[in-house]
Amino acid sequence: MTDLLEKFRPLAEAREALTQSSQDPFRVIIERILSPTEAIVNGHPMILAGTNNYLGLTFDPQCIQAAVQAVQEQGTGTTGSRMANGSFSGHLALEHELAEFFGRRWCNVFSTGYQANLGVIAALTGQGDVILIDADCHASIYDGCRMSGAEVIRFRHNDVADLCKRLARLGKRCANTLIIVEGLYSMFGDRAALREIAITKREYGAYLLVDEAHSLGVLGERGRGLAEEAGVEDSVDFVVGTFSKSLGAIGGYCVSDHPEVDLARYVSRPYIFTASPCPSIVASTRAALQKLRTEPALRVRLWDNARRLYDELKGLGFRLGPEPSPIIAARLGQKDETIAFWNGLLDQGVYVNMILPPAAPDGSSLLRCSVSAAHTPDQINRICRAFASVKAALSSDLTDCHGAIRS
């Protein structure tokens, strides 16, 4: 018999190894946050290039003002679930505004984007149903699948032929099948092949859920996401998303024309058994949604920055995702090289996300940047220069090392 806590030993050893060679990425302390794109980290000024703050709204004066006013008028928290304690009028207003923005009849708001996926997937599907999931979907989608008790079948990332093959095998069960994909995938920033997926879904009579966590405010003429950009909103049954990226707060939602989304409130455990979003969050999210709707220039600036960074890093020889996007991930070689690179960037004053196996799809090690509309041209230049200089320093280290071995 092994001790209950024995399972932590490999984790402790892995963390020890990480801290020997570098800073522990889980212990980076943002000592002072200065703006959507700058902070003081370990006493040094840092450009934030991994925050998902796509529209840069976290310091927007109107969003802040709305949050402050809500705290003053309604207090710091709701201290309970909507089921047990009732809804604040702000919850209903936010749901109404989101439904209207998406041109849908129904909207449910959840306390986080993670819970939105758990709550919606586990309410829509259960034993006897099938979920067909893109292999690269986010952990919250996988966890929702597990919670649902449905049969879960993965199809190869963005491979519509593989999806078709699996639907064909299901025959009549397609009517009990929910297909789940993301708008922009969170690791490499690539788009789902949504037009083809929508055709397939219609052909087989299945349901389609799209997680637009990274595409709200980023894609589509009005910022509604990939379904809008691809012109297939009519074929998407359920859109899930989060307030924690373009809207600069925390929380999640599902919008749909199916009235069952509203009924799901009565059965969705991640909706019922947790406290509802606090007034300041609801207020700043409503203000941010208003900005997203009325200031398309934010989206233009975001894409200018994204294309510039993508092109520059590609020009420097980094292996990136298949298309420019506000999520730009450089695939590095070994884990050690990635850790060294990430530390080099920190020394240069640039903070990006380090993704080590097994977190990234296909076991790769990544340095993931996310671009913001709030990045200035100078900050984008400095991010590029940092990547170039760390690359040069590390390859000269390698050359020295090979030289030493040869001599």
Binding-site ranges for ligand PMP (CB under 6 A) = 112-114, 117, 138, 140, 182, 186, 211, 213-214, 242, 244, 252
Q: Which of 91, 201, 245, 291 is catalytic?
A: 245
Q: Which two structure tokens, joined as six digits, stand for 403?
A: 């030289």
DSSP symbol at 319: B
Of the pair 134, 237, the CB lying nearest ligand PMP is at: 134
Question: Is there a catalytic annotation at residue 214?
Answer: yes
Closest residue to ligand PMP using C-beta atoms: 113
Of the two residues 210 and 390, which places its CB atom closer to ligand PMP in the complex?
A: 210
Structure tokens at 30: 């943002």
> How many beta carbons lie within 10 A of that of residue 73, not counting itself?
9
Least Å distance between CB 377 and ligand PMP? 27
Catalytic position from the list 214, 291, 375, 391? 214
| Least distance between ligand PMP and beta carbon 252 (Å) | 6
Of 117 and 280, which has the nearer Cβ to ligand PMP? 117
Select which of 111, 140, 148, 186 is catalytic.
186
Give the separation between CA 282 and CA 292, rounded to whole angstroms.
Answer: 15
CA 62 – CA 84 distance, rounded (Å):
32
Minimum separation from the CB atom of position 94 to ligand PMP (A): 15
Residues whose CB is less than 8 angstroms from the CB of residue 105 and which lie 6 or more positions away in sequence, other chains included: 99, 256, 257, 259
Separation CA 279–CA 276 (nearest Å): 9
The dihedrals phi and psi of 289, each to the nearest 5 degrees, come to: -65, -40
- E strands, 189-269, are 207-211, 238-242, 252-256
Pick the closest to residue 21 from 330, 337, 333, 332 (CA basis). Answer: 337
Tokens standing for 153?
């079948």
| Ordered alpha helix ranges (H), 224-321 | 226-229, 260-263, 269-272, 279-294, 296-315
> Of the two residues 90 and 119, which places its CB atom closer to ligand PMP in the complex?
119
| 129 vs 211 by CB, closer to ligand PMP | 211
91 is an active site residue: no
How many CA atoms are closer than 13 Å to the CA of 150, on its beta-carbon side? 26
Of 180, 201, 197, the closest CA to residue 118 belongs to 180
What's the angle, vertex CA 113, arms to CA 66 and CA 299, rounded to 5? Answer: 60
Q: Cα–chain-centroid distance for residue 304?
A: 20
CB of 117 to ligand PMP, least distance (A): 6
Compute the least distance from the CB of residue 121 to ligand PMP, in Å: 11
- Select 60 or 211, whichever has its Cβ closest to ligand PMP: 211
Q: In the bound complex, what is the minimum distance in angstroms from residue 258's beta carbon to ligand PMP?
A: 20
Residue 188 or 204: the one with the smaller Cβ distance to ligand PMP is 188
Q: How far is the CB of 392 from ligand PMP (least distance, A)?
A: 32
If the CB atoms of residues 118 and 174 are measured against ligand PMP, the closer one turns out to be 118
Do 284 and 249 contact (CB within 8 A), yes or no?
Answer: yes
* Minimum CB distance to ligand PMP, residue 191 (Å): 13
Nearest to 135 by CA among 361, 364, 312, 384: 361
Rounded distance between C-alpha atoms, residue 278 and residue 285, angstroms: 11
Instruction: Return the active site residues.
Output: 186, 214, 245
